């Protein structure tokens, strides 16, 4: 139990960066594949659902990194600050395709 707590504590500054990157990549890949493979059948609803899940994961991991700022010092604090900033940037990167999916017609013919 102690070892897993130490591992979790060691990884908390990196949470926003790692989880945000994975979530953004997944949302982007889902949107790209579904748009190009099934353009006629793709509605914005599945993309919005996946994007909201990715956004929640990104913001949650950014919050974990934010809480790590107060308890860390030195290099870990710097990593936490960068990780929070990257989580915000990844959240912005997830929001833009959702807006596009709602505004641009399905196959843009």
Residue 69 tokens read as 């700022």
CA distances from 101 to 97, 104, 107 (A): 6, 6, 10
- The verdict on pTM exceeding 0.85 is no
Residue 40 tokens read as 């006629």
Backbone CA torsion sign across 5, 74, 72, 56 = negative
**Helix/strand/coil (H/E/C) assignment for every residue in 57-96:** HHHHHHHHHHHHHHHCCCHHHHHHHHHHHHHHHHHHHHHH
Model pLDDT for residues 11-26, shown as the tens digit of each residue: 889 999 999 999 999 9
Asked if residue 80 has pLDDT above 60, the reply is yes
Task: With beta carbons less than 8 A apart as the criterion, state whether 4 and 68 touch.
Answer: no
Model pLDDT for residues 59-75, shown as the tens digit of each residue: 999 999 999 988 878 88
* Residue (of 26, 5, 96, 67) closest to 18 by Cα position: 26
Portion of the chain with pLDDT greater than 70, in percent: 85
Mean pLDDT of 38-66: 86
pLDDT of res. 35:
66
């Amino acid at each position: 139990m102690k070892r897993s707590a130490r591992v979790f504590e060691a990884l908390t500054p990196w949470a926003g960066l790692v989880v945000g990157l994975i979530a953004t990549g997944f949302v982007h890949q889902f949107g790209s594949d579904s748009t190009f493979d099934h353009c006629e059948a793709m509605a914005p609803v599945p993309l919005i659902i996946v994007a909201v899940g990715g956004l929640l994961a990104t913001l949650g991991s950014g919050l974990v990194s934010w809480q790590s700022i107060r308890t860390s010092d030195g290099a870990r604090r710097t990593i936490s600050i960068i990780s929070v900033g990257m989580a915000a940037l990844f959240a912005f990167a997830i929001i833009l395709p959702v807006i596009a999916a709602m505004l641009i017609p399905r196959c843009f013919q």
